């Protein structure tokens, strides 16, 4: 996703001289070298100084530019939180805060580098929009959208590298609308971000068991496509939410609330990270498993 993000941003910067990227001592690979060589005045590295990264983006946006702030998710959102809230949210500026490697992707770096509460935290800020693409192709679409939108701030939650393509042949990406990656009638899986890979495996297994399965990328987590989710709750007998986020403040509780508000009658299962800091080092899958989220664990519960 990092590579497709930088390619899409490079394209955007080529079209629009007001596109800037302000990074905090970490740079997306791939085309970012091209960006910094061709547009050195628009590639700013603040060093390990995330508060100024956000403030500088705000200043650029106050002058009509279209800036991106980029670093590892914990440092792009948590460290400079008041700048994100006041400078971007309160002033409602079209700045994209890229949270790279969100969730527990930095599995061996420990809890300081895990971003498990970002949807709750970013989502609590008025005006903030949240987009979390599930694969490189969605990341391209999302980045292009961020580079041209003027609604207000966006938290763009992306993975790291090596994510598989999951959206080939899916319906077109549209901001604010859930996206069916496949359509079925029995079970509907709602998910977003990198864990969509696991959700796809769950969908495959359920289909192998003879079920007709919908798989939905809820790439726009805020504003949430309430109409789309309510419809999914109505049309399926069983809805499953799989997300790489703590149980509070993410897609799972919001789906439950919508189900309650609309008196949904479907079965609803949610799978999230635990409300815990897990002191465990291993692969991304190992970390998710330690949080209780794995294909066998999900299948065992939803069968």
Partner 1 sequence: MDTLMKERANMFDAKVAKARCKAYRRRILDMSQKVSALHIGGAFSCTEIVDLIYNDLMRPAVNGGHSPDTFLMSKGHGCMIQYMILVEKGILSQADLDAYCTKEGRLGVHPDYGNPGIEASTGALGHGLSMVVGMALAERGRRTGGTIYTVLSDGEIQEGSTWEAILMASSLKLSNIIAFTDNNDFQSLGRTSLTHPSFYPLADKFASFGWETVECDGHSSADLYAAVTGRKGNGPLMVVAKTTKGKGVSYMENVPIWHYRSPNKDEYKQAIAELEAQA
Listed ranges 41-49, 160-168, 239-247, 260-268: which one lies at the site for partner 1 (CB under 8 A): 41-49
Size of the chain, expressed as the number of residues it contains: 303
Q: Which residues contact 146 (CB under 8 A, 6 or more apart)?
A: 68, 96, 131, 154, 156
Q: Is 17 one of the binding residues for partner 1 (CB under 8 A)?
A: yes
Candidate residues 28, 67, 94, 153; the one interacting with partner 1 per rule CB under 8 A: 67
CA-based torsion, 13, 16, 17, 19: positive or negative: negative
**303 with 186: CB under 8 angstroms?**
no
Q: Write down the least CB distance from residue 282 to partner 1, Å.
A: 35
What phi and psi values does residue 278 have, to the nearest 5 degrees? -100, 125
Decide: is 20 part of the binding site for partner 1 (CB under 8 A). yes
Residue 60 lies near partner 1 (rule: CB under 8 A): yes
CB of 168 to partner 1, least distance (A): 38
**62 scored as a contact of partner 1 (CB under 8 A):** yes
Kindly report the CA angle at 136 between 179 and 42, in degrees rounded to 5?
A: 115
297 by DSSP, 3-state: which?
Answer: helix
- How far is it, in rounded angstroms, from Cα 166 to Cα 279? 31
**Binds partner 1 (CB under 8 A): choice among 1, 32, 46, 97:** 46
Could you tell me the smallest distance in angstroms from the CB atom of residue 149 to partner 1?
18
Q: Are 88 and 95 in contact (CB under 8 A)?
A: yes
Q: Between residues 56 and 178, which has the closer beta carbon with respect to partner 1? A: 56
In the bound state with partner 1, the residue whose beta carbon lies nearer, of 67 and 94, is 67
Closer residue to partner 1 (CB): 62 or 124: 62
- Radius of gyration of the chain measured on its C-alpha atoms: 19
Q: Strands 154-158, 96-100: parallel, antiparallel or unpaired by DSSP?
A: parallel
77, 82, 86, 89 alpha-carbon torsion, rounded to 10°:
30
| Contact set for partner 1, span 68-97 (CB under 8 A) | 80, 82-83, 86-87, 90-91
* Binds partner 1 (CB under 8 A): choice among 23, 32, 65, 278: 65
Candidates 298, 111, 60; CA nearest to 195 is 298
Strand order of the β-sheet with 66-72 is 43-45, 19-23, 66-72, 96-100, 154-158, 129-131, 220-222
Nearer to partner 1, 62 or 227 (CB): 62
Name 190's bridge partners.
216, 241
Distance in Å, CB of 85 to partner 1, minimum: 9
**What DSSP state is assigned to residue 170?**
P
Counting residues that bind partner 1 (by CB under 8 A) gives 32
Q: Which of 13, 61, 105, 146 binds partner 1 (CB under 8 A)?
A: 61
Binding residue for partner 1, selected from 26, 49, 120, 280, defined by CB under 8 A: 49
Interaction between residue 212 and partner 1 (CB under 8 A): no
Is residue 64 close enough to count as binding partner 1 by CB under 8 A?
A: yes
Structure tokens at 203: 């969908």
Among 44, 130, 139, 239, which residue sits at the site for partner 1 (rule: CB under 8 A)? 44
Among 16, 36, 52, 262, binds partner 1 (CB under 8 A): 52
Q: Judged by CB under 8 A, does residue 149 bind partner 1?
A: no
* Contacting positions for partner 1 (CB under 8 A): 17-18, 20, 22, 41-42, 44, 46-47, 49, 51-52, 54-65, 67, 80, 82-83, 86-87, 90-91
């Amino acid at each position: 996703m990092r590579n497709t993000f930088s390619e899409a941003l490079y394209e955007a910067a080529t079209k629009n001289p007001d596109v800037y990227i302000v990074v905090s001592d970490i740079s997306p690979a791939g085309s970012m070298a091209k960006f910094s060589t061709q547009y050195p005045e628009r590639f700013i590295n603040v060093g390990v100084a995330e508060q100024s990264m956000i403030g500088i983006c705000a200043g650029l946006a106050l002058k009509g530019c279209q800036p991106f702030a980029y670093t590892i998710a914990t440092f792009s959102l948590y460290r400079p939180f008041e700048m994100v809230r006041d400078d971007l949210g309160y002033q409602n500026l079209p700045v994209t805060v890229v949270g790279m490697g969100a969730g527990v992707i930095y599995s061996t770096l420990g809890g300081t580098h895990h971003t498990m509460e970002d949807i709750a935290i970013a989502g609590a800020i008025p005006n903030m929009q949240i987009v979390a693409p599930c694969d490189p192709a969605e990341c391209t679409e999302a980045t292009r959208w961020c580079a041209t939108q003027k609604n207000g701030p966006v938290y763009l939650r992306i993975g790291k590298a090596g994510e598989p393509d999951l959206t080939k042949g899916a319906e077109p990406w549209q901001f604010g609308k859930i996206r069916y990656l496949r359509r079925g009638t029995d079970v509907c899986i709602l998910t977003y971000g990198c864990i969509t890979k696991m959700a796809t495996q769950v969908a495959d297994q359920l289909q192998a068991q003879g079920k007709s399965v919908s798989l939905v990328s809820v790439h726009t987590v805020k504003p949430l496509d309430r109409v789309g989710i309510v419809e999914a709750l109505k049309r399926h007998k069983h809805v499953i939410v799989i997300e790489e986020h703590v149980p509070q403040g993410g897609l799972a509780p919001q789906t439950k609330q919508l189900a309650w508000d609309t008196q949904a009658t479907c079965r609803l299962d949610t799978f999230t990270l635990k409300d815990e800091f897990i002191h465990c080092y291993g692969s991304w899958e190992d970390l998710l498993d330690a949080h209780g989220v794995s294909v066998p664990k999900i299948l065992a519960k939803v069968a």
